[in-house]
Structure 1
Amino acid sequence: MSDTPKFEVIDRRKRKLEEEAGEASAAAPAPAAIAEPESRPEVSSGPRLVVNEPVREPIEADPQPDGDPLPEAPTAEESRQQQSAYEASAERLEDLVRAQNPGAGPQPPIAFDSLVQQLYLSSMIQMGAGTQEGQRPRVDILGARQTIDLLGILAEKTKGNLTAQEDRMLQTVLFETRMAFLELTNMITLQPPPPPPVKK
C-alpha cells in the first residue's frame, strides 16, 4: 500500500450557484423570519452568519476601592516562591550553557550599571551608532528619545539611592545620549529643504 495520502476533491461551485440563485429569487425576509433559522438542510459545513446573537459586553476588571483597575499585588509569600523558582530556573539555564561551552565562566551578576549600559547601548543603536561601514544607518529617532527619557526617569526616581559611582555613571550616560540626540536632531532639522521638482 502506498504511503502517499489520498485526497478527495469536492466541487462546491455547483452548490454555491444553487445557493445564490435561491437567494436572488427570494424576497426580503420579514423581521420574524430573520430571527428563526431556515428549515432547509445544511449544504456545507462552512461558516454561517448568525443573526440576532446577543451582544456580549466586554469583561472589565473590578475596580479597586481607590478606582485603580490593576490587580492586587502578590503576597510576600507568593513573591518569595516565585523568586525562588525563577532563580532555580536561571541556574538550570546557566548549567546548560556551561555544558555547551565548558570554557565559559559564570556570568557576572546583574547590577544597576548593567541596566544603565543596556539603555545606553539601545539609545545609541537607535540613533544609528554601530552601523557597518558602507551601509546606510538605520535611525529610530523616536525610539531613541523614549530610551533617553527612560534614562531620565531612572535618574529622577533613583535620586538619593545610588552610590557616588552609580550616580556619576548614570549622569554621564544621560549627558552623552542627550548630546548625541541633539546633534542628530540638528542634522535632521537643519538640512536644506529638497529642491523643487523640475517641470518638464
Structure 2
Amino acid sequence: MADDMDDRKRALRAELRERRRIRTATERSADAAGITQNLIDLTSDLKVGYLAAYLSTPDEPPTREFLRWTAERGIRVLLPVSREDGLLDWAPYDGDDEEADLLGMPTPTSELLGPIAINGVDLILVPAACVDHSGMRMGWGMGYFDKTLGSMEACPPVYAVIFDDELVDSVPRERHDMPVNGVVTPSGIVSF
C-alpha cells in the first residue's frame, strides 16, 4: 500500500513539474501579478505584521514581488533554510543577497535562526505541488514543511501558494501530511 501511495505521489509530482516547466512567459507574467496582489490582500486582511514565507524558484508561483512589498511596509518575514536533519532553520528576509541551501533552494544570507523562530509569526506561506478542496497539501516529497507544521503548538493560518490548476479534487494522503487553511492562486484566495 505504501509503495502504491509513493508511486501515485511521484507520478502526480512529475506531471505538475512538467506543467510548471512549460508555462509561457505570458502566463508567468499574468500569474505573477495575480499572486502578488492576492498575497498582499491576504496579508492586509489578516493584519499580518510577521510572517514566514519562502523565496520562489523560477518554476514556482512567484513570491519575490510580494516579499519586496512586505519589506517596504516593515512587515517582518522569516524564510526557511533546509537542514540535513529534515528540519527548517529560519532567516530574516532583508532583501539582500541570497544563496542556495543544501537542497539548492534560494535562502537569504542574513542571520540564521533555529527551528523555533517560526513560533511567533501571524501567517505561514508554504510552497506546494498541489492542494485539494479539503485543504490537504501535497508537497515535493522532502517533508520539511509537514514536520514544521506538525511540531508547532499554536500554528497560525497556513496558506499554500499554487497555480490555479493545482487546486485539485483530491491528493494522495499519508498520516504525516499536514493540511493548510487555504491557498493563494493567481485568480484568488480560497480558505478551507
Q: TM-score, normalised by structure 1?
A: 0.21
Bigger relative contact order, structure 1 or 2 (CA pairs below 8 A, ≥6 apart): 2
Structure 1 or 2: more helix by fraction? 1
**Structure possessing the higher radius of gyration over alpha carbons:** 1
Structure 1 or 2: more strand by fraction? 2
Q: TM-score, normalised by structure 2?
A: 0.21
